[in-house]
Structure 1
Amino acid sequence: MDDLMSASATGEGNLVVLLGSKTGRDGIHGATFASDELTEESESKRSNVQVGDPFSEKMLIECCLKLLDEDLLVSLQDLGAAGITSSASEMAAKGGVGIEIETDKVPLRESGMEPWEVMISESQERMLAVVEPEKVEEVLKFAERYGLIGAVVGRVADHGDLRVIHNGEVVGTVPAEHLADAPVYERDVLRPQYLDDVQELDVSELPEPEDYNAVLLQVLGHPNLCSRRQIFTQYDHQVGTDTVVLPGADAAVMRIKDTKLGFAATTDGRGRHCYLDPRGGGAATVAEAYRNLSCVGAEPVAVTDCLNFGSPEKPDGYYQLAECIEGMSEACEVFGTPVVSGNVSLFNETEHGAVYPTPTVGMVGVFEDVNRHATPGFKREGDMVVVIGASSGSSESRRESPLAGSNYLEIVHDKVAGRPPVPDLPAEKRTADLVRGMISSGLLDTVHDISGGGEAAALAKMALAGGVGFEYEELEIEDLKNNGILLETLFGEQGAGFLVSVPEARWTELEDALGCYEEGKPIIGYDVVGRTGGSSFKMGGLIDLSLDELREAYERDLFERHAPEGGHIG
């Protein structure tokens, strides 16, 4: 905590230094474009989208860390939406001071830029620092050493304004606190009529699949669930040689060089769920991120988010936004994961309507020993595969059908309907924490959560990731049929569920770790569902597919609808 740097500008007469890349018009109105209703005129505004330079960003980060380490800065803030205007006004307001910016001293990449363009440009890779005058020269030398542009562009004043000066003339001045403290709009939160319609679903009316093989291949090959290899192979994910778990797992895992420490990161979104139940969907999005970090063994510590919604000026859009945030807040409180940053993209609408309300959650977790981690791929022949958590419960314990709002329902039956199960947040945390503890102890090295596509899709992905087949217990399939929950178990999306595999020799250890009972029943349900082995994927007499057949479906080109040459990788 002692190393934290404040973003509060202080010290009348201290200088304001702009670090990083030059300023251009490429970022002007970038944030407002991201929160503007899309029309036929939107194409003409595409130049407003910022163009990033990852290498310059890396250099800027390293430079700022060095400046902080050398105790050369009074305060520091990144330039985001509205560029210098927002950063300078926020820094001034936090410190109770004023800041004067001389726009003619800002390094530009384009000629003829007006002062207002300089002030609101959102060009990337820039930071604003407050520096004591006697340290400025050293700060600028460090910037040059890291290949960055550094320039003194203003000073701290006592008048409390953000004052814009161009060629010695004041061209604008506004009290900094008026810019930093945005007005708050309190609108009525009214439940939309559409929810009454879309939440109607009778799963008993869904026909049983005639061909379970075809259904599983259809689910695995759908853009919602298929491999993201087309994306993550477009960049080098081993830069710096610190990657511990390669892309394709539940979360990315990195080591801290020369230590046993590590960290993991995941991003998740459940737009369809949030559309059907905004509050429950918001909570479920956070819960899925918590599960994904726990799957690799990382302790979740913090959240960032991107809130993608339609117009909050319309009653339906405002309700979705407010309720999703409430659900996310409830989940973050239960999980102990504070939201440390975030942004919004609003007014995502066209003449065809709004996008699904889609809060995207990024969550980061930490390892004390990064060598104790897990991955989803089956690793050995003959392992026992165990389902842990809510998905192992009976139909009597389920308040809503796990098929409601599921990928199966949309992909196979072309329906987006029902009310998805409301996440049991304490159960989510209890189960995830238990699984994470078993990874940390070295008991588990193979873990995957049950989410999109249900248990069947999760097991198929585990088989594909490890190149080892799987066979579901015949008696388990019969029990599911007899209890009337076969479809719900194989393709439902209930949450709080994990799949793990262990050698038979360690089964007793796993039972002991899971053996917390209350009134004669396990607090966290679990069940052995099958064993690994061979080169096929079998589920009773329902599914019998080779791993090659699964892989052909799962590895379909994510962008095949735009690929006239065929749409397959390889």
Structure 2
Amino acid sequence: MTPQPIENISEVLKRHKLSLEDYEQIKKILAREPNLLEIAIFSAMWSEHCSYKSSKKYLKGFPTQAPWVIQGPGENAGVIDIGQGYGAVFKIESHNHPSFIEPHAGASTGVGGIMRDIFTMGARPIANLNSIRFGEAHRKDAIGSKHRHLLAGVVAGIGDYGNCMGVPTIGGECSFEACYNGNILVNAFTLGIAPCDEIFYGRAEGVGNPVIYVGSKTGADGLGGAVMSSDSFTQDSKSLRPTVQIGDPFSEKLLLEACLELFKKDLIVGIQDMGAAGLSSSSFEMAGRAGSGMVLHLDKVPMREAGLGPYELMLSESQERMLICAKKGCEQEVIAIFEKWELDVAIIGAVSDSGKMELFWYGEKCAEIPVAELSENAPILDRPIKRPAYLDVCRQTHYQGSTKAEQEIFEILLGSLDVCDKSWIYSQYDNSVGTNTIISSAQGDGSVIRVKENDSFLAMSVCCPVRYCYLDPKEGAKIAVALAGRNCALRGARVFGISDCLNFGNPENPEVMWQFKEATDGIKEACKALNTPVVSGNVSLYNQTDGQDIYPTPTIVAVGTIKSAEHIIKAGLQKSGNLLVLLGEIQSEFGGSLIQKMLTHQCTGTPPTLNLQRELALWRLLEQAAIEGLIVAAKDINKGGLAIAAAKMALITEMGVAIKSPFYQASQKLERENIFSQSQSCVLAEVTPDHLSKLTALAQTHQIPLCVLGEVRPPQDGISIDTIQLDISKAKEIYFQSFATQLDLV
């Protein structure tokens, strides 16, 4: 192969987001001048999205191992042992940039992509979650209109793809902050179930084993997607629409069923989704993990349009495609399965022992790249870090209390976009398909699904307290891990692991890299203390538009197991006459709180402190109380504090509540407002009177303070919290109608 000289190399490098230093490194690796195709492959594989070149340094040190961890980071998804020979396979991933450019297509292909990561490992997807974040959609101007459009498109995209696939979306979170005006976040999570001894991995080994392309045909959509997702936005980013893939959930459903049929037979060595960077990433990663080489004949790739060449075929991010390394001699059986499901299938190459990726186009070699140098030895950057100057300014201003009465504050918080019911969103998702959903979006912060295969239950929750992460990235990330895990513990689960999606601004900004370092340090500290290994994850950088970075947003999903249906704790109040107790201790902690946001429109001060040992003790208390049947319902003290927690528990099941907090008769107004404080490791629990003494003793054993606050009342008694009095009908109106009213939704 004799490379053709490239004219205007500077322009080519600029277009592919490569530096002159990168170009010199490429020449050194190849020992010659690269051609355009090779430059494009290096560009995609060395992009931030694929190589993690800015973040890899800080990802080292995550706790990733435990006796129950079957597979940690490094594969398509993580796997934990959930008993009786079955594993839960799960991961969260971002599709932020594509969703901002084209919300419906970006969100739907994000869901499709994460589901492929799960079933490519041999698992049938059984549950989806999502974390979506928008700018100031409530504004009555161009920004508000833009984000209402983005919200509608993203929600429709998530619902359309998940519903068509027959996978229930059982939970999620949605928030609105000015920092996302230029960059929305769409993080999608899927969990699947597979036998522990039937997990499949993305490897291509065994000289002569055939490499088989399956799924949909390749088109020109998604070209440059990985590179686009590794760059900041400007006001001209609408021109990037061609880099957004178009999904077809019906094709993916066929692909899912075909793959699951394939996995029942001993026909393949490995399998990999063609995600970011398409055929480039799947082929290089499969060969790289095994230390192999590969020969690909690109003219054999199924194409859906004329005029495609090696460049387009290697870089296209067309959806619903897989690359398989089959066992030699099994080719026809593999082909027969995919033809049965009316999917494209073609043998496009074979595994070699050369250690190189050799690409051919109608018999002529068009590229040759050492696999390890590209897939395993991508550049790792040591970017400068700097503590942000804004932190000193934030620390100088603290919430000083409000002149508004607690009643007025309560109604403002209850109707805020952060708190109010978001059924406009989750009603577009099928949360019951499969008949395994036990607790979904409308019923509590932590969702629960039944695992028919071993007659157990899984709890899962996704969250990130972004305002805390802005004020203190390390403490905020610790709280994110604790919140996600606590929401599972509230359902009675033992938490076994997390998946993270680390959304940050421009890594070329030293202050952003400082935020990233601090957040990863916080995750490491929390996961070690809480014994929740990180089994999978994703990094999304360059969430910046016109120089404005998003808040640090390390989104965490926790997953835990519940052995019996009798051990599941509900979120809504259950029976009049039951007692309401506070587990934990509320302090005056208002930095980054909802009351501060709604009343002062600021994000200042310091976030609440988190005692990880006390947090773990609370989890163990909740788990043991669930096993002994001591707690009927529970909710953590989160956005809006004790007052909002009590109100939401009442509104879920339309019950009344009467509470007198420890701050009821305080002389200072700010102290009385502690009912809106968001202290950590605090839970409001419903307990029957005859179980109070046992729960008190258990709390003492775990050294968790317990205080009786009041009781559950019939709905006609309304909501009574200190001086707050609100009848149920008015509370329902505020809580259930505010979202659509504020956003002009129909």
TM-score by structure 1 length?
0.91
Cα pair 2:637 2:678 within 8 Å, conserved = yes
Cα pair 2:416 2:738 within 8 Å, conserved = no
Deviates further, 225-234 or 350-359: 350-359
Distance 1:24 1:264 in 2: 39
Among 698, 701, 704, the alignment partner of 1:513 is: 698
Deviates further, 211-220 or 26-35: 26-35
Distance 1:37 1:482 in 2: 47
CA gap 1:483/1:100 in 2 versus in 1, 3 angstroms: same
Match in the other structure for 1:520: none
Among 377, 383, 408, the alignment partner of 1:187 is: 383
Distance 2:591 2:537 in 1: 29
Match in the other structure for 1:223: 417
Aligned-pair distance for 1:254?
Answer: 1.1
Which secondary structure state, in structure 1, belongs to the residue aligned with residue 490 of structure 2? helix
Match in the other structure for 2:721: 539
Aligned-pair distance for 1:352?
Answer: 6.2
Match in the other structure for 2:448: 253
Match in the other structure for 1:398: none
Cα pair 1:26 1:48 within 8 Å, conserved = yes
Cα pair 1:302 1:337 within 8 Å, conserved = yes
Match in the other structure for 1:22: 217
Match in the other structure for 1:548: 729
Deviates further, 193-202 or 106-115: 106-115
Cα pair 1:90 1:179 within 8 Å, conserved = no
Q: Is residue 2:635 matched to residue 1:455?
A: no
Aligned-pair distance for 1:555?
Answer: 1.9
Match in the other structure for 2:576: 381
Superposed, 1:120-519 pairs within 5 Å as: 120-181=315-376, 182-203=378-399, 205-207=400-402, 209-248=403-442, 249-257=444-452, 259-351=454-546, 353-391=548-586, 395=587, 401-473=588-660, 476-478=662-664, 480-481=666-667, 485-488=671-674, 490-516=675-701
Among 187, 198, 202, the alignment partner of 1:7 is: 202
Letter of the structure 1 residue corresponding to residue 296 of structure 2 = I
CA gap 1:506/1:239 in 2 versus in 1, 3 angstroms: same
CA gap 1:464/1:61 in 2 versus in 1, 3 angstroms: same
Letter of the structure 1 residue corresponding to residue 227 of structure 2 = T
Query: What are the superposed Cα offsets for residues 1-56 of structure 1, whole Å, 9 maximum, x if unpaired?
Result: 54333322210110112233332233222233333211122112123223334444
Distance 1:124 1:332 in 2: 34
CA gap 1:479/1:71 in 2 versus in 1, 3 angstroms: farther
Deviates further, 223-232 or 550-559: 550-559
Which secondary structure state, in structure 2, belongs to the residue aligned with residue 137 of structure 1? helix
Cα pair 2:570 2:633 within 8 Å, conserved = yes
Deviates further, 238-247 or 347-356: 347-356
Cα pair 1:263 1:370 within 8 Å, conserved = no
Provide the aligned C-alpha RMSD in A: 2.1
Distance 2:309 2:741 in 1: 44
Letter of the structure 1 residue corresponding to residue 480 of structure 2 = T
CA gap 1:350/1:217 in 2 versus in 1, 3 angstroms: same
CA gap 1:146/1:44 in 2 versus in 1, 3 angstroms: same
Query: What are the superposed Cα offsets for residues 445-493 of structure 1, whole Å, 9 maximum, x if unpaired?
Result: 311111111111111110000110101127x3435557963323x1111
Aligned-pair distance for 1:259?
Answer: 4.4
Cα pair 2:469 2:551 within 8 Å, conserved = yes
Cα pair 1:294 1:432 within 8 Å, conserved = yes
Cα pair 2:401 2:673 within 8 Å, conserved = no
Cα pair 1:27 1:121 within 8 Å, conserved = yes
Unaligned 5+ residue runs, structure 1? 396-400, 518-522
Deviates further, 105-114 or 273-282: 105-114
Among 27, 31, 35, the alignment partner of 2:230 is: 35
Cα pair 2:293 2:351 within 8 Å, conserved = yes
Detail structure 1 runs of 4+ shifted over 4 Å in the superposition: 479-484, 559-562
CA gap 1:89/1:390 in 2 versus in 1, 3 angstroms: farther
Q: Is residue 2:263 matched to residue 1:94?
A: no
Distance 2:357 2:565 in 1: 46
Query: What are the superposed Cα offsets for residues 388-426 of structure 1, whole Å, 9 maximum, x if unpaired?
Result: 1243xxx5xxxxx41111111011121110110232122
Distance 2:243 2:727 in 1: 49
Letter of the structure 1 residue corresponding to residue 713 of structure 2 = G
Which secondary structure state, in structure 1, belongs to the residue aligned with residue 532 of structure 2? coil
Q: Number of matched residues? A: 547
Q: Is residue 2:312 matched to residue 1:117?
A: yes
CA gap 1:51/1:436 in 2 versus in 1, 3 angstroms: farther
Aligned-pair distance for 1:557?
Answer: 5.2
Unaligned 5+ residue runs, structure 2? 1-195
Deviates further, 100-109 or 266-275: 100-109
Letter of the structure 1 residue corresponding to residue 739 of structure 2 = L
CA gap 1:363/1:145 in 2 versus in 1, 3 angstroms: farther
Aligned-pair distance for 1:235?
Answer: 1.9
Distance 1:143 1:324 in 2: 44
Deviates further, 303-312 or 377-386: 303-312
Distance 2:249 2:259 in 1: 15
Query: What are the superposed Cα offsets for residues 366-387 of structure 1, whole Å, 9 maximum, x if unpaired?
Result: 2222442122100111110111
